[in-house]
Structure 1
Amino acid sequence: MHTFGRLLGFLRPYKSGVIWSLVLAAAAMVCTVAIPWLTGRAVDQIEAKDRDGLRNLAIAVVVVAVGRLALSVARRLVAGRVSLAIEYDLRTLLYSHLQKLELGFFAGQQTGQLMSRATVDLSSVRFFLGYGLVFILQSALTILLGAVAMFILSPGLAALALIPVPFVVVVATRYGRRSRPALQEVQQRIAEVTADVEENISGVRVVKAFAAEPRQLTRFRGNVARVFDQSMIATRLRAFYNPFLAFLPQLGLAVILLVGGRQVMNGTLTLGDFTAFYTYLLMLIGPMRMLGVALGLAQRASASGARLFEILDREPTIVSGASPLPAGNGRVELRDVTFGYGSGPDALRDVSLEVEPGSTVALVGATGSGKTTLVQLLSRLYDPTSGSVRIDGADVRDVDLVSLRREIAVVDDDPFLFSDTVAGNIAYGRPDATLDEIRHAAERAQAAGFIDELPDGYDTRVGERGLTLSGGQRQRIAIGRALLADPRILILDDATSSVDATTEREIKAALREAMEGRTTFVIAHRLSTIALADDIVVLEKGRVVARGSHEELLTRSPLYHEIATKGLVDQVCLNEAKVAGL
């Protein structure tokens, strides 16, 4: 009930629409209730052979039916607008909340699960709040008005005919209580299928490269079978309870035929009243059945709402500070920084590091030594467990996130491009940039040449994640994106790993110009990339174990000597392979 109450809270901004929807539904139900009464009077006129009275009643039935039609159409339009407005609010609320959550939240979530909650679960909630709630109230109102009319016609007969109604309520309540956990489990398994589909589509290149289609199909069939099995549990409940809910009112119908028919034979009830009474009871069967269906929708909405609230109730652990990043040239200081992912071991331990404005620092170390983790702390993708990260004298935890991240640009080894034009991707950090500025950034990133050869140049749309481009092309566009943003701090996470030697030299020439006057962190594995740096920091198991120039570290750091020697051997082998034409 708590979840259901919270869902009803989304109706608050649309109280007037909800009220109008209910008023229109009530008026339509009054018209619905009037038709059986008019029908009963018409039967009496037939028995009396009153042609004029019969004609007038037939006209009245048409007028009331047209009125009901108009009211029903108006009610559906109002309810539809409310439903779509709620959907808009829910989508916006969910998306904005996801944007506030820290990177660590997404690292522990499947994209497909989040997509399922933003689509399937959200639609269930939207449909119920927009339509299902009105169905419940409309059905209840129809039963109430019909019962009143029946008591007016014949109190005793009405009491007998309505005996099944309490049993309908009890059975519907029991059905709702049993169906909710079953439907919640169905929603969860549908989310698992969605996650599986998303993962297979995103990783289609790997699937095809390893000819793993049969294995993935087997896995997918298993997940779909889980949905089928759980849906069958919900279907069995529905298959029993819905027909049973439809059966109970038929008992009242039998009572009407038996008792009411005898009263007509005895002359204590007119044939017109009997016809009206019989029609009222037929009219109540639909709302009773719909009440069960609508309660099922309510249970599904509650199950979906619980899944949505799991996300909406998740408070972000990284909250923006109030002050903008102070002016400066990009001085970076880490003071006794320790950080670990979740309950795992620390990725960084007591790291203290000072980087002067405008300098270029290469971070070197084995895989898992903490290089990428360190630079992620600069833009507060994560917060340190202890210690502090300061930029131009300000603790990043006290700084407005937008102002902080606008001053830091990242180019990593697998850059993400949006399904947009080339120009749109380069201008992502500065949407107001002119085409000339975009072209200049592309030229500095050595990307202008291949962009001009694309079918539509800068207006060419790249595929999802930029997969219509090569790795080197994606990286050069990402470098152009970073250069156009004109950041105070530039982070190059192995940014030239996907380009050939010639292109690498061209990009590095551009990067030297781009790095001029701004603080740059270079995560490097190649000696040629390390050469871009003024200073080299060696990391091992999350600790800074050495710092200095290339020549100094060769003699002072066995780890760096090993890394440099291996890098040199790899480069020589690569060059020999190119000469041999391999």
Structure 2
Amino acid sequence: MTGVYRRLSRFYRPYLPLLWVSFGFLICTALLQLAYPYLLKAIVNRVILGHQEKLLLPLASAILAASLVKGVCTFTQAYLAQVFGARTAFDLRNELYRTLNHLPFRYYDEIHTGDLMSRLTADLDAFRMFFAFGINNLINLFLTIVFSIGMMLTLDVRLALLLSIVIPVLAATAIRFDKRMGPVFLTIRQTLGKLNSGVQETLMGVRTVKSFAREAHEIDKFRQRNQAYYDANIRATRLWRSFFPFIELTGNLGVVLILLVGGWLVISGHMNLGDLVAFLSLIWYMIWPMSQLGFFLNNWTQATAAGQRLLEILDEQDDLDDSREQRDGPVQGLVEFRNVSVKLGGEYVLKDITFTARPGQTIGIVGLTGSGKSTLVSLIPRFRDVDEGEVRVDGVDVREWKRESLRRQVGFVFQEAFLFSTTLFANIAYGRPDAELQAVQEAAEIADADEFIERLPDGYLTLVGERGLGLSGGQRQRVSIARALVPEPSILILDDATSAVDMETEEAIQRRLAARAGSATTFLIAQRLNAVKGADEILVLDGGRIVERGRHQELLDRGGLYRQIYDMQFRDLEALRHIADPCMAEGER
């Protein structure tokens, strides 16, 4: 368990002076606690038994003064501990978010968003709480026991030795409890992550759930995950139930033993009554923090389990090698694939891909589902690396380009258009925040988005709902295309980016893109062949290989896979035209 805190030490090490000063005030607080038993002893022995009534007021005043000083020390110590925990959590939270932003696409393909949210909120807060409260509570318990036993030895060695029989039993019980609670709290954290993942996924897909009337299924799925979370908490509660009665019983047995033996010593004249009163008050000072030992260990164990889950994020490695990234500067747009092959899960998804796209050219990429189209274009901005061969931009291997520099000059539009919960202007200008309104409007006009934006009550200042809700799929895609155009990229990649718009709008967008593209190299992935028929070269993929290449008419004339896809798409359209023509002719007669 200590390995978790050692590996996370870089986040709290800069703020350790705050913790040391806090410990200083904690020591003062623990020492001042000893003033009460000492003053009680003096009141009993000297005022009550010794009849020195004039000492009562000074001794009572001393108790009040000790309380005031102790209060100041307690407040200062708690404040410094809170600042220590808050600053540690602040730096850790920043580093977690930075790490998440730099992790590759592969990582997000394998993890649930809800689980990540659980780690960044509940787990991080559990870690912060231990640093803000837990450490000081454990140190305070240790100091209280050490100082109290030290004072007990000065009061009566026999009673102190008698009490020392009980303390090891309590300590051993607490250690055993902690070992059993560790795995339970890790399970609690994991089940909470799964619960949050399920909720987040269902809320994002609530329209799909309702459209299939699957509310009952999702409720049942949530109930099962909630039950797992509940069961994990109940296991923790049962452990508490089995350990804490024993701890409390052992502590009370110690008090009874001290009362019996101490009472006999006072009666037999071997001990002063004031010493016994002071001894018993020290025991009560120890009993309270000892009774909270399980809670303190609980806090520590939860923080350890949470820290393990946070380390899983921090330990995740970017699988893209950055040791060769030296090249910076403007991109002209020459893209070359040289015998490129890519494996996923041990199998080739791309095999021996070779082609060249020159600046200003438009390359169409078509193929059946799963043929490797999206994987191919993802290699250009280096969302993933090749396993064999190389992808070159302007004659330089993409692995030698600085990723940030390269990606700033590649406009990428995904099929699933994502918009942020902000204004349409901010969404379109996302890649170039300093863009003027005119540049945003021009990009929106090319993407055929300006018309519907201008009709909105607030125009470009219209706030977009979460993930672009409130706009249609086609509208979101057009906004995404405009966003890619604003930075004026040298390479533009449209990954089936017009699938949600009608063919007429798609054709208009293609015409405007062709007019705007200029020297930009454009890659068009499309399911509808209508979108790529004007491309300078069309690559037809099948099973991860290029099986055909050429222009639209050339590929149709060859009668290969491209022709088959074309026939499948246009057969129904031709049939409708044949049906429509006789009807129109009959109407004319």
- For Structure 1 versus Structure 2, the TM-score category normalised by the shorter chain is over 0.9
1:264 corresponding residue in structure 2: 266
The correspondence of residues 510-521 of structure 1 with structure 2, limited to 5 A, is 510-521=512-523
Matched, 1:94 2:92: no
1:117 corresponding residue in structure 2: 119
The correspondence of residues 100-499 of structure 1 with structure 2, limited to 5 A, is 100-320=102-322, 321-343=324-346, 345-499=347-501
2:24 corresponding residue in structure 1: 23
How far residue 37 of structure 1 moved from its aligned partner, in angstroms, is 1.6
Q: What is the total number of aligned residue pairs between the two structures?
A: 579
CA contact (8 A) 1:408 1:487 kept: yes
Distance in 1, matches of 2:75 and 2:576, equals: 74
CA contact (8 A) 2:534 2:552 kept: no
Distance in 1, matches of 2:552 and 2:179, equals: 70
How far residue 557 of structure 1 moved from its aligned partner, in angstroms, is 4.5
- Matched-pair identity in %: 39
440-449 vs 92-101, greater mean Cα deviation: 440-449
Distance in 2, matches of 1:557 and 1:179, equals: 68
How far residue 169 of structure 1 moved from its aligned partner, in angstroms, is 1.1
Go from structure 1 to structure 2 and tell me whether the alpha carbon gap of 1:573 and 1:85 turns closer, same or farther (over 3 Å shift).
Answer: farther
37-46 vs 21-30, greater mean Cα deviation: 37-46
CA contact (8 A) 1:326 1:392 kept: no
How far residue 326 of structure 1 moved from its aligned partner, in angstroms, is 4.8
Distance in 1, matches of 2:491 and 2:146, equals: 70
Go from structure 1 to structure 2 and tell me whether the alpha carbon gap of 1:24 and 1:269 turns closer, same or farther (over 3 Å shift).
Answer: same
2:586 corresponding residue in structure 1: none
What SS is found at the alignment partner of 2:235? helix
Distance in 2, matches of 1:78 and 1:526, equals: 64
Go from structure 1 to structure 2 and tell me whether the alpha carbon gap of 1:496 and 1:8 turns closer, same or farther (over 3 Å shift).
Answer: closer
Matched, 1:51 2:56: no
How far residue 108 of structure 1 moved from its aligned partner, in angstroms, is 1.2
Gaps of 5+ in 1: none
Amino acid at match of 1:65: S
Gaps of 5+ in 2: 584-589
568-577 vs 216-225, greater mean Cα deviation: 568-577
Distance in 1, matches of 2:27 and 2:576, equals: 80
Go from structure 1 to structure 2 and tell me whether the alpha carbon gap of 1:248 and 1:532 turns closer, same or farther (over 3 Å shift).
Answer: farther
Distance in 1, matches of 2:580 and 2:455, equals: 26
The correspondence of residues 25-40 of structure 1 with structure 2, limited to 5 A, is 25-40=26-41
Go from structure 1 to structure 2 and tell me whether the alpha carbon gap of 1:335 and 1:501 turns closer, same or farther (over 3 Å shift).
Answer: closer
Go from structure 1 to structure 2 and tell me whether the alpha carbon gap of 1:40 and 1:519 turns closer, same or farther (over 3 Å shift).
Answer: same
What SS is found at the alignment partner of 2:243? helix
Aligned with residue 569 of structure 1, among 564, 568, 571: 571
What CA deviation, in whole Å up to 9, does each residue of 1:21-79 have, x standing for no partner? 11111111111221222122223313334333111111111111111111111111111
371-380 vs 510-519, greater mean Cα deviation: 510-519
Distance in 2, matches of 1:577 and 1:162, equals: 100
How far residue 574 of structure 1 moved from its aligned partner, in angstroms, is 8.3
CA contact (8 A) 1:140 1:291 kept: no
Matched, 1:13 2:14: yes
Amino acid at match of 1:29: A
498-507 vs 402-411, greater mean Cα deviation: 498-507
Distance in 2, matches of 1:258 and 1:577, equals: 108
287-296 vs 552-561, greater mean Cα deviation: 287-296
CA contact (8 A) 1:31 1:68 kept: yes
What SS is found at the alignment partner of 1:48? coil
CA contact (8 A) 1:112 1:191 kept: yes
What CA deviation, in whole Å up to 9, does each residue of 1:521-571 have, x standing for no partner? 001222321123111111111001111111111122410111122222355
How far residue 227 of structure 1 moved from its aligned partner, in angstroms, is 1.4
Amino acid at match of 1:85: R
CA contact (8 A) 2:477 2:498 kept: yes
Distance in 2, matches of 1:567 and 1:455, equals: 39
Distance in 1, matches of 2:467 and 2:43, equals: 70
Amino acid at match of 2:475: Q
253-262 vs 292-301, greater mean Cα deviation: 292-301
Go from structure 1 to structure 2 and tell me whether the alpha carbon gap of 1:162 and 1:371 turns closer, same or farther (over 3 Å shift).
Answer: same
How far residue 140 of structure 1 moved from its aligned partner, in angstroms, is 0.4
Go from structure 1 to structure 2 and tell me whether the alpha carbon gap of 1:217 and 1:129 turns closer, same or farther (over 3 Å shift).
Answer: same
Distance in 1, matches of 2:303 and 2:522, equals: 51
